[in-house]
Structure 1
Amino acid sequence: MNSFDDAFKALIGNEGGYSFHPADPGGETMWGVTARVARNFGYAGAMKDLPLETAMQIAKQKYWDPLHLDELDPRVAFQIFDANYNGGLVVLWMQKASGAHEDGKFGPDTMAAVKSADPMKFILRFVAYRLRYLRNLHTWPTFSRGWTDRMATNLLLGAA
């Protein structure tokens, strides 16, 4: 995995297409993009018709670029990107996994700590914090199988 394009391709493998699960607090989604996010981005069509290219633009602008993921080891960047796209306490997990000051605010100190962390140790720690977070969500009983599979896939990608 060497770029945003590679990361997005792997991400979409986790996300799939259209979903409108009654237990999902995100509501109606296509390619993992919620209707709220799509509307805020300017998309006005039916969610089932959201083009993959639009999802890719949203992913880059909303979930990749703000965390300067092009500056990181691609394996680390993917883990952060996937978590940011899927939701959670991403910056806090970045800080905990890298040994940065834990304040939940992204800035140069967090970025420097992530850059200097051993990529494999960072990935293992980051995924562990993410799994703990997911396990504590009220939707865990409904989505645990998919989330566990997603984390296993992400660990395999991180080890590549």
Structure 2
Amino acid sequence: MDNFLSCLSFTLEMEGGYTNNPDDPGNWTGGRIKVGQLRGTKCGISAASYPALDIQNLSLEAIKDIYYKDYFMLIHGDKLQLPLAMVAFDAAVNAGVKKSIVWLQQSLKLQEDGICGPQTLSALMSGNPLEISREALARRLDFYMRSRGWDIFGLGWAGRVIKLAQAIV
């Protein structure tokens, strides 16, 4: 549980509160701009991923439950050392579990399937957590720089990656 609390603290600080920017596809229940309803995102819990939830009125306890069940456990954060758990968790909340795991797999030069199966988990647990974390952050930043939303959200994405890199030293 200690890993989760460390991960939670950083990610909640980075995610902030409620937003409903119409230029963010995650804020729409259909997952694309102007598709579905504009319900927003709160602490990284998006209308695109959770279209049936009342996003704006999510309680902190509900957010923690979603973070733990749908992100932390899927990246096996309970088995990973810090800072690796923090890097993987924050990426999962910000960009999705699959993308987070792909960045870890790229860092380890493993087959990229976005699933934290036995081979990936074993490599993560036996490698140097700080080196893998730094490489995953570099992969994440490279992905963001090539993303369509870079012009709108790039400064925030880059700042988040930099703050995470500073936090894991």
Q: What is the TM-score when the length of structure 2 is the normalising length?
A: 0.85
Equivalent residue, structure 2, for 1:85: 93
CA distance, structure 2, for counterparts of residue 112 and residue 142 of structure 1: 37
Higher RCO (CA-CA < 8 Å; seq separation 6+): 1
Equivalent residue, structure 2, for 1:158: 168
Preserved contact between residue 99 and residue 113 of structure 1 (Cα < 8 Å): no
Identical-residue share of aligned pairs (%): 30
Deviation per residue, 1:31-59 (Å, 9 max, x gap): 1111243445xx4x3x2221111111001
Higher helix share: 1
Report deviation, 1:119. Answer: 1.5
Equivalent residue, structure 1, for 2:17: 17
Q: Which amino acid aligns with 1:115?
A: M
State yes or no: 1:60 paired with 2:68.
Answer: yes
RMSD between aligned residues:
1.7
Match of 2:115, SS state, is coil
Deviation per residue, 1:111-135 (Å, 9 max, x gap): 0111111112111100011111111
CA distance, structure 2, for counterparts of residue 25 and residue 106 of structure 1: 26
Deviation per residue, 1:31-88 (Å, 9 max, x gap): 1111243445xx4x3x222111111100111011012111011210010001011115
State yes or no: 1:34 paired with 2:46.
Answer: yes
Preserved contact between residue 3 and residue 77 of structure 2 (Cα < 8 Å): no
- Higher deviation after alignment, 96-105 or 19-28: 96-105
Q: Which amino acid aligns with 2:138?
A: A
CA distance, structure 2, for counterparts of residue 6 and residue 38 of structure 1: 24
- Higher deviation after alignment, 104-113 or 93-102: 93-102
CA distance, structure 2, for counterparts of residue 33 and residue 102 of structure 1: 25
CA distance, structure 2, for counterparts of residue 68 and residue 147 of structure 1: 24
Residues 79 and 20 of structure 1, relative CA distance in 2, 3 Å threshold? same
Please show how residues 1-160 of structure 1 align to structure 2 within 5 Å: 2-27=2-27, 28-39=40-51, 43=53, 45=54, 47-88=55-96, 89-159=99-169
CA distance, structure 1, for counterparts of residue 82 and residue 46 of structure 2: 25
Number of aligned positions between the proteins: 155
Report deviation, 1:9. Answer: 1.4
| Structure 1, gaps ≥5 residues long | none
CA distance, structure 1, for counterparts of residue 145 and residue 20 of structure 2: 22
Q: What is the TM-score when the length of structure 1 is the normalising length?
A: 0.89
